[in-house]
Amino acid sequence: MSETARKFTLLPMLGHTKGKRSPVTCALKCDNACAGDVCNTSSNSYFRDIASATLSRRAALGLGAAGALAVALGSAVSSAEPASGAGLSKAAKEGFGKSKLQFTAIKPVDKAVDAFTVPEGFTWQPIIRWGDPLFSDSPEFDLNNQTAAAQARQFGYNNDYTDIVEIPGSKGRRAVLFTNHEYTNENIMVPAGYDPVETRAIGRAAHGLAVVELERKNTTKPWSYVKGAPLNRRYLSDTTYELTGPVAGSALVKTVADPSGRAIKGTFGNCSGGTTPWGTILSGEENFNGYFVAGGTSAGDKRYGLTAKPTARQWELDDPRFDTRNAGYENESNRFGWIVEVDPFDPTSTPKKRSAMGRFKHEGANVIVAESGHVVAYMGDDEKFDYLYKFVTADTYRSGTTAADRRHNMNLLSEGDLYVAKFTGNSPAAEITGTGALPSDGAFDGSGEWLPLVVGGKSAVPGMSVEEVLVYTRLAADKVGPTKMDRCEDVQPSLHTGKVYVVCTNNSDRGTGTKEGATEVNPRTQNRDGHIVEITETGDQASTRFNWTLLMVCGDPAQGDVTYFSGYPADKVSPISCPDNVAFDSVGNLWISTDGAPSGIGYNDGLFKVTLDGAERGKVEQFLSVPRDAETCGPVIHDDERTVFVSVQHPGEEGTFEAPHSYFPDYVQAGTTPAPGKVRAPRPSVVQVFRG
């Protein structure tokens, strides 16, 4: 066992096994969020009657800082239509249609199988893998001789949110690929005996974000990435991010290294995200607490899961800022937990952290333009019993295509109103039972309210300033009585209908011990498989009131799980568990990637299409299945081109470097395994699936 592996194994926080993954992964990915007391223990209590695109991509046109690159999003790589004033697609006005991407659903794949499975008539290939060289001077990936310097010039680890956006004027032959590199699995990244200092540095260099140019011969061919392309960029732990909005310059975010409180080094735990109509990418800083040692006793530390334990990666040994007990760095962890905005078309631009959108474990953010022109962002806080948020910009979107329009739009997210959701059910019925159909009394739907936290630049929370509300958003929300949710992951509006899909991935603690039981909007105790809520705003998208219903309660009906698929026959759906990220195709179908199915229903995670309209509403069809121990994330659906992209995150995560669980992607693609004695680690990759 390497010193690194031994260290990971010996760390006390690795003893938790209550989560859905191995102890090592629970520590590395989310600092044992399942096992700790980081869950919402606020006195915000509930009663029985309390419930329980693609963005207008063509709308954006902009100029990079160099002034040379016009960016019209998605004209070839996305089939979404431009935003109308209401932010809905042109197709929305024409009703749901039939996608060009037709397939026969695959059967679920057993969790022990190390394969990437696609429907008949389709094939797949990785576009880019962990370690692939990005720049002309980048070294080739050398598994057994890794260095931090090399990793900084290569594609990072554990790609999560992904988007692929055409470069205008390229006739569909060039695009930019954006990905988050959420976290690292050091236990399967480096060989036994590897230098621990270098291992920690490699891990840091494998975090962050990446922008990579893609090319293809013509629009019928798959994409390849371009080494040394001008837009290629890695965002690393020493990249400077500008903090914008009400918290910029606040005493709550100043450190000895940044007395301005405006210049933050790095971004960590970037999970999901979204793409704006003006051509920027939003990225959510999620499990940031896992990177910091803290006092662990303040209300803020407790509410955000910051503890005095050594961190899993122990970066605090290398840089004092990762231990907020060090003088001058008390506020360092306040500088993480934000939504990041990046311009992938300008490699010299300074990325932004948007304090107006609040600080919590941001899964991501997805936006839509309201009829009023205000941009509305939906955001989930991915923690058991935490909340759902909505942000409405103070200024309005400009649909023009000049550089000035884009500059204006690129500042929209720096100021606005922040709300948190309260759901009210229509029925006293709380816990869902059975499969296939809801009770006839109208249960499991209702109305809701967006409770204000910051409005018009003023705090709506008694006793807290705007800066305090935005830095300690969870504590602020606790005071106004929102609904405790089952881990909101992606929260995404359909540009087809304006309806918003709230993906609740699971909550095994619901109804256990003294914790809150089933409510109408979170209708299952010990919610292993997750569910999806559909919100319809009342009137304009920026409204403070909404109606809601359940789209689905996930599980495997064939195994007797309690499920619901909007009334669609449960025996005619693909089993689905732990929904995480979502995307829409050009005709309004919802596509869902999953994270956690293996430990529940026993199948590898996958990507699923769900019909939202008509007689087949609720029909779930599995499109692909990822390899052993992997999570499917970052779905991108270019159904007009009959192609789909996913990020394959942490393949083989429960193995070791010496005894891998997965040989993804190269050996899996070839259908072979390495020769005896030849170690080959799995490599997280972005994969394209296409006809062929």
Site residues (CB under 6 A) for ligand FEO? 182, 271, 286, 363, 382, 489
The Cα 560–Cα 556 span in angstroms is 7
The Cα 32–Cα 552 span in angstroms is 27
The Cα 202–Cα 197 span in angstroms is 9
Q: 26 or 432: whose CB is closer to ligand FEO?
A: 26
**Given the rule CB under 5 A, which residues bind Ca ion?**
271-272, 489, 580, 595
Rg over alpha carbons for the chain, rounded to the nearest Å, is 23
Q: In Å, how far are 53, 359, 363, 532 from 624, measured between CA atoms?
A: 21, 34, 23, 20
DSSP reduced 3-state for 174: strand
Q: Is 634:209 a contact under the CB 8 Å cutoff?
A: no
**Position 149, amino acid:** A
The Cα 55–Cα 495 span in angstroms is 6
**Position 266, amino acid:** G
Q: 478 or 580: whose CB is closer to ligand FEO?
A: 580
**Position 215, amino acid:** E
Q: Is the dihedral of CA 184, 187, 190, 193 positive or negative?
A: positive
Least gap, CB of 590 to Ca ion (angstroms): 16
Least gap, CB of 500 to ligand FEO (angstroms): 17
Neighbouring CB atoms inside 10 A of 204's CB total 24
Q: 363 or 621: whose CB is closer to ligand FEO?
A: 363
Least gap, CB of 119 to ligand FEO (angstroms): 26
Q: 271 or 410: whose CB is closer to Ca ion?
A: 271
Residue 346: which of Ca ion, ligand FEO, none does it interact with, CB under 5 to 8 A by kind? none
Neighbouring CB atoms inside 10 A of 218's CB total 8
Residue 467: which of Ca ion, ligand FEO, none does it interact with, CB under 5 to 8 A by kind? none
Least gap, CB of 523 to Ca ion (angstroms): 21
Residue 576: which of ligand FEO, Ca ion, none does it interact with, CB under 5 to 8 A by kind? none
Residue 81: which of ligand FEO, Ca ion, none does it interact with, CB under 5 to 8 A by kind? none
Q: 272 or 311: whose CB is closer to Ca ion?
A: 272
Query: Any residues with CB less than 8 A from the CB of 346 and at least 6 apart, and which?
Result: 64, 65, 66, 69
Q: 4 or 505: whose CB is closer to ligand FEO?
A: 505
Q: For residue 674, which of 652, 691, 689 has the smallest C-alpha distance? A: 652
Residue 401, token pair as written in the block: 């295509």
Q: 183 or 548: whose CB is closer to ligand FEO?
A: 183
Least gap, CB of 271 to ligand FEO (angstroms): 3
Least gap, CB of 635 to Ca ion (angstroms): 11
The Cα 508–Cα 517 span in angstroms is 11
DSSP string, 229-257: -TT-EEE-TT-EEEEESTTTT-GGG--SS
The Cα 107–Cα 574 span in angstroms is 7
DSSP reduced 3-state for 535: strand
Least gap, CB of 544 to ligand FEO (angstroms): 26
Backbone angles phi, psi at 609, to 5 degrees: -100, 135
Least gap, CB of 232 to ligand FEO (angstroms): 25
Residue nearest to Ca ion (CB): 595
Least gap, CB of 637 to Ca ion (angstroms): 17
Least gap, CB of 184 to Ca ion (angstroms): 15
The Cα 375–Cα 141 span in angstroms is 42
Residue 286: which of Ca ion, ligand FEO, none does it interact with, CB under 5 to 8 A by kind? ligand FEO
Least gap, CB of 110 to ligand FEO (angstroms): 24
Q: Which residue has the tokens 């010299």?
A: 348
The Cα 484–Cα 574 span in angstroms is 29
Q: Is 427:520 a contact under the CB 8 Å cutoff?
A: yes
Q: 285 or 641: whose CB is closer to ligand FEO?
A: 285
Q: How many helices (H) and strands (E) does the chain have?
A: 12, 33
Q: Is 177:152 a contact under the CB 8 Å cutoff?
A: no
Residue 132: which of ligand FEO, Ca ion, none does it interact with, CB under 5 to 8 A by kind? none
Least gap, CB of 596 to ligand FEO (angstroms): 10
Q: For residue 640, which of 78, 93, 221, 53 has the smallest C-alpha distance? A: 78
Q: Which residue has the tokens 């590897």?
A: 194
Backbone angles phi, psi at 93, to 5 degrees: -70, -20
Least gap, CB of 182 to Ca ion (angstroms): 8
Q: Is 265:239 a contact under the CB 8 Å cutoff?
A: yes
